[in-house]
Amino acid sequence: MIELKDVSKTFTLHNQGSAVIEVISNVSFHVAPGECVALTGASGAGKSTLMRMIYGNYLTQSGSICIDDVDIVQAEPREIIALRREVLGYVSQFLRVVPRVPTLDVVADPLRALGVPAEDAQNRARELLSQLNIPERLWSLSPTTFSGGEQQRVNIARGFAHAYPAMLLDEPTASLDATNREVVLSLIEEAKARGAAIIGIFHDEAARARVCDREIDVSAFTPGLSSSSEAVGQKKETAA
Amino acid sequence: MTPLLSVNGVTKRYGAHIGCADVSFELYPGEVMGVVGESGSGKSTLLNCMAGHLTPDAGQVIFDTRTDGPRDTLTMSEPERRMLGRTDWAFVHQHARDGLRMGVSAGGNVGERLMAVGERHYGDIRGKATDWLERVEIASNRVDDRPTTFSGGMQQRLQIARNLVTGPRLVFMDEPTGGLDVSVQARLLDLLRGLVRDMGLSAIIVTHDLAVVRLLADRLMVMKNGHVVEAGLTDQVLDDPQHAYSQLLVSSVLQV
């Protein structure tokens, strides 16, 4: 479902003396449907960078990232937009919304974009919001004024509204209490059960052990960070 | 799929000075493209060349017309181009005053565009005008008031209603939220996003506000000194800009 081949990334900072920073070199891995793979490594190793490259948010210099036969590295913007609408979901750490839009519509939005009738989309949104313990009195308000944890849950509800065949999760359980963490983990398990290929970043080790089938240590692909026993370019995979 | 609009090598010079140079891109149905750059970068020149307000020195602006398929709008006859401007195209000006008739009532402003495409039944026209005023959140009891009695934000929403009433397929917008205070801006953005999605509009939005393009545009084009220096997916250009100027532009935004 998700296939990375020899993927490399550098940042060139033109306004800071044209400094070139190599972030990731020669990553290759594959994620099958129904599988959840965790990206691990110390802060700064490039986990989020790699995830954003897969989402098409960061430009990839070389290699290929194929999701459902679309190569993100080569694709036209409209192909990536269609892919994101139908195939590739992404739960980021931050909720970014148009001000003033009610929470219910924020969550229903991905379904509306797919052409699902307003009524059905909102029903699915209601279901997810109550599952994630967002009080009903908040549904008609814009999430911009919500607490960090509430925003994170709205973001998760939005990310799970459509049954994406491929999903990227950036710290989905961060800043959640035990009850809601449990809800999110079961949502991930449900997604796996229906055959979604998932790549996640989890700092929460217990959560990682529970939902992830494999781990990929990103620092093994980070030039300058790989001075450890790990050889550059070699994959570190441990079965969970 | 045929692109709705294909722009090939559009160039406009003001004497020795370059307005915009060799701009090419394709816009597909339902796509919203943002054009950003500092003032003087040529973004408004480009928009006006595409919309037929300025005649480019070189290039083609090919629009997929309903009846005859793709045609170069620059070689069309003036009446044909005007007809396009009244039906399939819409142009939202930065200053609502440029896009409205200030001496005519709000309902008249919306109705005029309907009459221009042949509607003659007064009751229907008034009904549609009232309906559109409500869609842009202007109370229906203001239908007989002149835009001079409206606030800046209301004038801008009236201009949008006037433009969208004929169901255009392509909307050109020049700084649609410029000069409005932030709360009105947020409301207008929400409205535009809903209209774009529900009507399946394609739009080209010229702005210097990066937050506006992030929320509205699928794609982004960055211009400097009349040239396109970078183009791509909006969030990719904003989060991982490649060109020195785009990097400067993105890093210059003040954090709130």
What's the Rg (C-alpha) of chain A? 18
Instruction: Report the distance separating Cα B159 and Cα B98, nearest Å.
Output: 9
Q: What band does A225 get if pLDDT is binned at 50, 70 and 90?
A: low
**Residue-wise pLDDT tens digits, A169-221:** 999 998 889 999 999 999 999 999 999 999 999 988 999 999 999 999 998 88
**Residue-wise pLDDT tens digits, A117-173:** 999 999 999 999 999 999 999 999 999 989 988 999 999 999 999 999 999 999 999
Task: Supply the pLDDT for residue A239.
Answer: 39
Instruction: Report the distance separating Cα B145 and Cα B158, nearest Å.
Output: 12
Q: What band does A57 get if pLDDT is binned at 50, 70 and 90?
A: very high
Query: What ipTM describes this predicted complex?
Result: 0.83
Chain A residue closest in CA terms to B221: A77
Residue A69: CB partners within 8 Å, gap ≥ 6?
A: none
Residue with tokens 């799929």: B1
**Residue-wise pLDDT tens digits, A81-123:** 999 999 999 998 888 887 788 999 999 999 998 989 999 999 9
Q: How many CB atoms lie within 10 A of CB B14?
A: 11
Residue with tokens 């309907």: B114
Task: Supply the pLDDT for residue B116.
Answer: 87
Mean pLDDT of A19-46: 91
> What amino acid is encoded at A87 in this protein?
V
In whole angstroms, how far apart are CA B29 and each of A117, B168, B187? 21, 12, 25
Checking if the pLDDT of B228 tops 70, the result is yes
Interfacial residues of A (vs B; Cβ cutoff 8 Å): 11-15, 52, 56-59, 77-78, 80-81, 96, 98-101, 112-113
Q: Inter-chain contact A96–B214, Cβ cutoff 8 Å?
A: yes
Task: Supply the pLDDT for residue A233.
Answer: 37
Mean pLDDT of B63-83: 91
Contact B161, B136 (CB under 8 A): yes
Residue B91: CB partners within 8 Å, gap ≥ 6?
A: B51, B53, B85, B99, B163, B171, B172, B173, B174
Task: Supply the pLDDT for residue A224.
Answer: 67
Task: Supply the pLDDT for residue B255.
Answer: 65
Checking if the pLDDT of B186 tops 70, the result is yes
Mean pLDDT of A49-66: 94
Instruction: Report the distance separating Cα B232 and Cα B234, nearest Å.
Output: 6
Kindly report the average pLDDT of chain B as a whole number.
90
Checking if the pLDDT of B10 tops 60, the result is yes
Mean pLDDT of B227-254: 91
**Nearest C-alpha of chain B: how many angstroms from A98?**
6
Mean pLDDT of A64-72: 93
Burial bucket for residue A98 (CB in 10 Å: 0-12, 13-18, 19+): buried
Find chain B residues with C-beta within 8 A of A100's C-beta: 186-187, 190
Q: Are strands A166-170 and A88-91 parallel, antiparallel or unpaired?
A: parallel
pTM assigned to the model? 0.86
Q: With an 8 Å Cβ cutoff, is B242 touching chain A?
A: yes
Most B CBs within 10 Å, among A61, A79, A81, to test the B interface:
A81
Q: Inter-chain contact A56–B236, Cβ cutoff 8 Å?
A: yes
Instruction: Report the distance separating Cα A162 and Cα A157, nearest Å.
Output: 9
Checking if the pLDDT of B212 tops 90, the result is no
Task: Supply the pLDDT for residue B230.
Answer: 94
Chain A residue closest in CA terms to B185: A99
Mean pLDDT of A48-54: 94
Instruction: Please name which of A99, A90, A108, A96 lies closest in space to residue A53, comparing C-alpha atoms.
Output: A90
Q: Inter-chain contact A77–B251, Cβ cutoff 8 Å?
A: no
Q: Inter-chain contact B197–A58, Cβ cutoff 8 Å?
A: no
Percent of chain A beyond pLDDT 90? 70
Mean pLDDT of B65-88: 90
Between B255 and B95, the higher pLDDT residue: B95
**Nearest C-alpha of chain B: how many angstroms from A57?**
4
Instruction: Report the distance separating Cα B217 and Cα B34, nearest Å.
Output: 5
Q: With an 8 Å Cβ cutoff, is B236 touching chain A?
A: yes
